[in-house]
Protein backbone atom coordinates (compact mmCIF):
# COMPACT_ATOMS: atom_id res chain seq x y z
CA UNK A 1 0.00 0.00 0.00
CA UNK A 2 1.32 3.43 -0.92
CA UNK A 3 1.74 5.81 2.01
CA UNK A 4 0.45 9.34 2.39
CA UNK A 5 1.80 11.50 -0.42
CA UNK A 6 2.28 15.23 -0.16
CA UNK A 7 3.26 17.59 -2.94
CA UNK A 8 5.26 19.64 -3.40
CA UNK A 9 8.06 18.70 -1.00
CA UNK A 10 9.48 22.23 -0.85
CA UNK A 11 8.03 25.65 -1.62
CA UNK A 12 9.54 29.12 -1.54
CA UNK A 13 7.15 32.04 -1.68
CA UNK A 14 7.21 35.74 -0.92
CA UNK A 15 4.99 37.66 1.45
CA UNK A 16 1.53 38.35 0.10
CA UNK A 17 1.47 35.38 -2.27
CA UNK A 18 -0.80 32.41 -1.87
CA UNK A 19 0.02 28.72 -1.90
CA UNK A 20 -1.81 25.42 -2.38
CA UNK A 21 -0.56 22.17 -0.86
CA UNK A 22 -1.79 18.74 -1.87
CA UNK A 23 -2.24 15.49 0.04
CA UNK A 24 -3.19 12.02 -1.20
CA UNK A 25 -4.19 9.70 1.67
CA UNK A 26 -3.63 5.99 1.98
CA UNK A 27 -6.09 4.08 -0.17
CA UNK A 28 -9.25 3.42 1.84
CA UNK A 29 -8.60 6.19 4.35
CA UNK A 30 -11.38 8.73 4.40
CA UNK A 31 -10.13 11.13 7.07
CA UNK A 32 -7.44 13.68 6.24
CA UNK A 33 -5.96 16.10 8.79
CA UNK A 34 -3.47 18.93 8.42
CA UNK A 35 -0.91 20.03 11.00
CA UNK A 36 1.64 22.84 11.08
CA UNK A 37 5.02 21.95 12.57
CA UNK A 38 7.49 24.61 13.70
CA UNK A 39 10.65 24.15 15.82
CA UNK A 40 9.81 24.06 19.51
CA UNK A 41 6.05 24.31 18.91
CA UNK A 42 5.20 20.73 18.20
CA UNK A 43 2.36 20.05 15.82
CA UNK A 44 -0.53 22.49 15.67
CA UNK A 45 -3.86 21.25 14.32
CA UNK A 46 -5.21 23.10 11.28
CA UNK A 47 -8.29 21.14 10.16
CA UNK A 48 -9.74 17.68 9.55
CA UNK A 49 -11.91 16.44 6.71
CA UNK A 50 -14.05 13.35 6.29
CA UNK A 51 -16.18 12.62 3.23
CA UNK A 52 -15.62 16.14 1.91
CA UNK A 53 -16.85 17.71 5.19
CA UNK A 54 -14.73 19.70 7.59
CA UNK A 55 -15.35 18.19 11.02
CA UNK A 56 -12.98 20.35 13.06
CA UNK A 57 -10.83 23.44 12.65
CA UNK A 58 -7.90 24.71 14.70
CA UNK A 59 -7.13 28.22 15.87
CA UNK A 60 -5.65 29.59 12.68
CA UNK A 61 -6.71 32.74 10.81
CA UNK A 62 -9.13 32.57 7.92
CA UNK A 63 -6.19 32.81 5.48
CA UNK A 64 -5.80 29.07 6.06
CA UNK A 65 -8.41 26.99 4.29
CA UNK A 66 -8.79 23.50 3.00
CA UNK A 67 -11.00 21.10 1.15
CA UNK A 68 -11.40 17.43 0.44
CA UNK A 69 -12.43 15.83 -2.81
CA UNK A 70 -14.66 12.83 -3.43
CA UNK A 71 -11.59 10.57 -3.81
CA UNK A 72 -10.44 11.69 -0.31
CA UNK A 73 -7.53 13.72 -1.65
CA UNK A 74 -7.17 17.01 0.15
CA UNK A 75 -5.72 20.44 -0.47
CA UNK A 76 -4.94 23.29 1.85
CA UNK A 77 -4.55 26.88 0.79
CA UNK A 78 -2.83 29.76 2.51
CA UNK A 79 -3.55 33.21 1.14
CA UNK A 80 -1.68 36.47 1.75
CA UNK A 81 1.38 34.68 3.08
CA UNK A 82 3.22 36.09 6.09
CA UNK A 83 6.77 35.42 7.27
CA UNK A 84 5.37 33.51 10.25
CA UNK A 85 3.70 30.99 7.96
CA UNK A 86 7.09 29.43 7.26
CA UNK A 87 6.79 25.88 8.58
CA UNK A 88 6.52 22.21 7.73
CA UNK A 89 2.93 21.36 6.83
CA UNK A 90 2.06 17.77 7.54
CA UNK A 91 -0.91 15.88 6.23
CA UNK A 92 -2.15 12.76 8.01
CA UNK A 93 -4.73 10.19 7.00
CA UNK A 94 -6.72 7.68 9.01
CA UNK A 95 -9.52 5.25 8.28
CA UNK A 96 -12.36 7.29 9.71
CA UNK A 97 -11.44 8.92 13.01
CA UNK A 98 -9.39 12.05 12.71
CA UNK A 99 -7.48 11.38 15.91
CA UNK A 100 -6.59 7.68 15.92
CA UNK A 101 -3.89 5.73 14.10
CA UNK A 102 -2.75 8.68 12.01
CA UNK A 103 -0.36 8.05 9.14
CA UNK A 104 1.64 11.14 8.25
CA UNK A 105 3.04 12.28 4.96
CA UNK A 106 6.58 13.61 4.59
CA UNK A 107 5.28 17.16 4.65
CA UNK A 108 5.66 20.28 2.56
CA UNK A 109 8.38 22.65 3.78
CA UNK A 110 7.12 26.18 3.12
CA UNK A 111 9.51 29.11 3.30
CA UNK A 112 8.10 32.63 3.08
CA UNK A 113 10.62 35.32 2.20
Partner 1 sequence: GENVEQHPSTLSVQEGDSAVIKCTYSDSASNYFPWYKQELGKRPQLIIDIRSNVGEKKDQRIAVTLNKTAKHFSLHITETQPEDSAVYFCAASDSNDYKLSFGAGTTVTVRA
Interaction site with partner 1 (CB under 8 A)? 4, 31, 33, 35, 40-45, 48, 50, 55-56, 58-59, 90, 97-107
Judged by DSSP in three states, 82 sits in coil
- As measured in angstroms, the least distance from the Cβ of 1 to partner 1 is 15
Of 107, 108, 103, nearest to 2 by C-alpha is 103
- As measured in angstroms, the least distance from the Cβ of 101 to partner 1 is 6
Which CB atom, from 63 or from 97, has the smaller least distance to partner 1? Answer: 97
Which CB atom, from 35 or from 64, has the smaller least distance to partner 1? Answer: 35
Cα dihedral 105/92/59/81 (nearest 10): 30
Beta bridge partners of 93: 32, 103
C-alpha–C-alpha distance, residues 18 and 85, integer Å: 11
Which CB atom, from 25 or from 98, has the smaller least distance to partner 1? Answer: 98
Amino acid sequence: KAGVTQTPRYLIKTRGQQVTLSCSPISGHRSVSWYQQTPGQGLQFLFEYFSETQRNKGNFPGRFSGRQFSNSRSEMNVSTLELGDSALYLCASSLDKGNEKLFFGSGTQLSVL
